[in-house]
């Protein structure tokens, strides 16, 4: 076919440009994935008693995870628009994450040094990142599936962003059963779980997010 | 049209594109025609050794533009958006071509090295042949990084995609390669 014929065919009946599709594609993945993550949490762990809501224990994870998740989603949307500058949002994500880690680790300052190992390692330091990444996996897979075809600039990076977003939601589910109450623990081991999910997301994204 | 500056082209294209995005099909047709013309010269330069493939790639890019119309963000210039998509399709094309026909990709590079630009004299021709010999003395990673960024004109991100590496790693390889080249010519 000649190019001018192609142009005629494309423009004939084209109508107005459709609205951006990132939200339409990705939100269902989150809406489906979060309940899946919650089910996994209930299947694998003992949920905290309802009274825990009155303590800080769940909130030191829920709030940071929500913040980071919102920023990650915003970055993902921007990164799905060719030629749009996603660097400021990327810096916001990394800056917020860094700040949260500093604040979490900083909580050690107010505690006697003899308590530090316990505050850093808790009861579940090795299982936490693995469980977190595992619980987030359904969300990540759904994001990758729904996100295929988005015009991302860098498939690997977009996959990492999806891994981060998935793990933030996963963390919000995980926090309903996680008994650890030390902010330093959260800073260290939840971050490890986020990084695990991001690494997997990057690897899968590089292969799946072609367009 | 092909010789218009980028900002002239943007000024020409943008009003048509805005109307097209709003639903004006005649404006869309005109905008795509303008874009196709610009794409043709952009791609011809980068596919100098495969001129038969230029028009196919122009059409592939137009299809991508049409498919992803919704991803255009009005705060960026249309031509930047078009170019980002065109680059992605070009890298895809090279990735496919590189897998199937390694020789033609190397021919492309050789031409880039040995190509005699109109205004340069024979001295430049000799220099470029020497350059290709010098490049062969570099470690593969440095050589590929320099070939892609300096000779083929890819930017860091594109070269990184093509080589399966990171932009930072590419920069390191280019830097090391240039240092080694400088050492080889005795500077």
Q: What residues have CB less than 8 Å from A12, skipping those under 6 apart?
A: B25
Q: Largest Cα–Cα distance of chain B, in whole Å?
A: 62
Q: Map residue B144 onto helix, strand or coil.
A: helix
- pLDDT, residue B63, reads 97
What average pLDDT does this structure show over A186-208?
97
Does the pLDDT of residue A4 top 80, yes or no? yes
What average pLDDT does this structure show over A140-167?
96
pLDDT greater at residue B3 or residue A187: A187
Q: HSE on the CB side for A191, CA within 13 Å? A: 19
Q: What is the pLDDT of residues A8-49, one digit of tens each?
A: 999 999 999 999 999 999 999 999 999 999 999 999 999 999
Instruction: Tell me if A184 is assigned to some domain.
Output: yes
- pLDDT, residue B160, reads 86
* Closest Cβ–Cβ partner in A7, A12, A154 for B36: A7
CA distance B22 to A90: 31
Q: What is the pLDDT of residues B119-150, one digit of tens each?
A: 344 555 555 556 777 788 888 888 888 888 87
What average pLDDT does this structure show over B99-123?
46
Number of domains forming the structure of chain A: 1
Contact B63 A6 (CB under 8 A): yes
Q: A179 CB near a chain B CB, below 8 Å?
A: no
What average pLDDT does this structure show over A75-87?
96
Does the pLDDT of residue A163 top 50, yes or no? yes
Q: B74 CB near a chain A CB, below 8 Å?
A: no
CA distance A130 to A36: 17
Contact B70 A21 (CB under 8 A): yes
- pLDDT, residue B48, reads 76
Range of the domain at A172: 59-104+119-211
CB contacts, 8 Å: A85 with chain B? 76
CB contacts, 8 Å: B23 with chain A? 15-16
Query: A96: buried, middle or exposed (CB in 10 Å: 19+, 13-18, 0-12)?
Result: middle
CATH fold group of domain B121-187: Arc Repressor Mutant, subunit A (1.10.10)
Query: Sorting pLDDT into bands at 50, 70 and 90, what band is B94?
Result: confident
Q: Phi-psi region for residue A197, left (φ > 0), alpha (ψ -120 to 50) or beta?
A: alpha
pTM summary value = 0.79
- pLDDT, residue B147, reads 82
How do the domains of chain B map onto residue ranges?
Answer: 1-100, 121-187
Does the pLDDT of residue A133 top 90, yes or no? yes
By C-alpha distance, the chain B residue nearest A6 is B59
- pLDDT, residue B148, reads 84
CATH class held by domain B1-100: mainly alpha
CA distance A126 to B106: 49
CA distance A181 to B56: 60
By C-alpha distance, the chain A residue nearest B77 is A83
Q: B131 CB near a chain A CB, below 8 Å?
A: no
Q: A11 CB near a chain B CB, below 8 Å?
A: yes
CA distance A184 to A118: 10
The per-residue pLDDT of chain B, averaged, comes to 80
Instruction: Please give the DSSP secondary-structure letter assigned to residue A47.
Output: P
Query: Sorting pLDDT into bands at 50, 70 and 90, what band is B152?
Result: confident
- pLDDT, residue B187, reads 46
What average pLDDT does this structure show over A170-187?
97
* Closest Cβ–Cβ partner in B28, B59, B88 for A3: B59
CA distance A186 to A100: 10
Instruction: Please give the DSSP secondary-structure letter assigned to residue B149.
Output: I
- pLDDT, residue A74, reads 98
What average pLDDT does this structure show over B55-78?
96
The per-residue pLDDT of chain A, averaged, comes to 96
CA distance A180 to A122: 6
What average pLDDT does this structure show over B82-106?
72
Instruction: Please give the DSSP secondary-structure letter assigned to residue B147.
Output: I
What average pLDDT does this structure show over B82-91?
91
Residue B126: other Cβ atoms inside 10 A: 10
- pLDDT, residue B140, reads 87
Contact B32 A11 (CB under 8 A): yes
Instruction: Tell me if A154 is assigned to some domain.
Output: yes
Q: A5 CB near a chain B CB, below 8 Å?
A: no
Instruction: Give the rounded percent of residues in chain B with a pLDDT score beyond 90.
Output: 36
CA distance B176 to B157: 18
Interface of A with B in 89-148 (CB under 8 A): none
What average pLDDT does this structure show over B57-84?
96
- Chosen from B17, B38, B70 to mutate, greatest number of chain A CBs within 10 A: B70
- pLDDT, residue B104, reads 47
Which two three-digit tokens encode residue A107?
């909580």
Q: Phi-psi region for residue A62, left (φ > 0), alpha (ψ -120 to 50) or beta?
A: alpha
CA distance A144 to A129: 21
Main-chain phi, psi angles of A10, to 5 degrees: -65, -40
Does the pLDDT of residue A140 top 50, yes or no? yes
Does the pLDDT of residue B108 top 90, yes or no? no
Instruction: Tell me if A44 is assigned to some domain.
Output: no
Q: A4 CB near a chain B CB, below 8 Å?
A: yes
- pLDDT, residue B130, reads 65
Q: A43 CB near a chain B CB, below 8 Å?
A: no
What average pLDDT does this structure show over A66-86?
97
What average pLDDT does this structure show over A142-154?
96
Task: Answer for the pair A122, A183: CB distance below 8 angstroms, yes or no.
Answer: no
CA distance A64 to A60: 7
- pLDDT, residue A82, reads 96
Q: What is the pLDDT of residues B11-66, one digit of tens each?
A: 999 999 999 999 999 999 999 999 999 999 988 888 877 888 999 999 999 999 99
Rounded to 10 degrees, the C-alpha dihedral A143/A149/A152/A153 comes to 140
* Shortest CA gap A85–chain B (Å): 9
Q: Phi-psi region for residue B186, left (φ > 0), alpha (ψ -120 to 50) or beta?
A: left
Which two three-digit tokens encode residue A50?
């309802």
Task: Answer for the pair B27, B20: CB distance below 8 angstroms, yes or no.
Answer: yes
* Shortest CA gap A163–chain B (Å): 19
Query: Sorting pLDDT into bands at 50, 70 and 90, what band is A183?
Result: very high
- pLDDT, residue A115, reads 95
Which of A58, A56, A32, A57 shows the shortest CA–CA distance to A166?
A32
């Amino acid at each position: 076919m000649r190019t001018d014929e192609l142009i005629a065919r494309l423009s004939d009946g084209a109508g107005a440009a459709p609205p951006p599709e990132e939200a339409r594609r990705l939100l269902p993945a989150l809406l489906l994935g979060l309940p899946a993550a919650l089910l996994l949490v209930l299947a694998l762990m003992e949920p905290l008693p309802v009274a825990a809501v009155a303590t800080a224990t769940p909130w030191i994870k829920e709030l940071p995870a929500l913040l980071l998740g919102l920023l990650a989603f915003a970055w993902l949307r921007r990164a799905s628009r060719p030629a749009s500058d996603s660097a400021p949002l990327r810096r916001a994500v990394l800056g917020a994450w860094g700040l949260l880690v500093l604040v979490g680790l900083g909580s050690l300052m107010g505690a006697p040094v003899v308590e530090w190992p316990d505050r850093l390692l808790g009861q579940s330091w090795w299982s936490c990142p693995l469980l977190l990444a595992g619980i987030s996996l359904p969300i990540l897979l759904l994001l990758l599936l729904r996100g295929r075809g988005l015009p991302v600039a860098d498939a690997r990076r977009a996959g990492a962003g999806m891994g981060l977003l998935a793990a933030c939601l996963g963390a919000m589910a995980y926090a309903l059963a996680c008994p650890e109450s030390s902010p330093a623990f959260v800073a260290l081991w939840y971050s490890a779980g986020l990084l695990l999910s991001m690494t997997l997301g990057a690897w899968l994204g590089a292969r799946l997010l072609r367009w | 049209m092909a010789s218009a500056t980028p900002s002239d082209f943007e000024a020409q294209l943008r009003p048509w594109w805005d109307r097209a995005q709003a639903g004006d099909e005649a404006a869309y047709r005109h905008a795509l025609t303008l874009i196709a013309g610009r794409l043709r010269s952009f791609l011809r330069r980068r596919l100098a050794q495969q001129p038969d493939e230029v028009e196919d790639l122009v059409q592939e890019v137009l299809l991508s533009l049409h498919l992803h119309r919704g991803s255009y963000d009005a705060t960026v210039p249309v031509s930047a958006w078009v170019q980002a998509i065109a680059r992605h399709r070009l890298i895809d094309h090279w990735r496919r071509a590189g897998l199937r026909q390694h020789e033609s990709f190397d021919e492309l590079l050789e031409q880039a090295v040995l190509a005699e630009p109109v205004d340069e004299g024979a001295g430049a021709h000799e220099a470029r042949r020497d350059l290709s010999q010098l490049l062969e003395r570099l470690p593969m990673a440095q050589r590929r990084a320099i070939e892609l960024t300096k000779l083929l004109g890819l930017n860091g991100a594109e070269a990184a995609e093509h080589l399966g590496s990171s932009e930072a790693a590419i920069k390191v390889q280019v830097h090391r390669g240039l240092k080694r080249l400088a050492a080889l010519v005795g500077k």
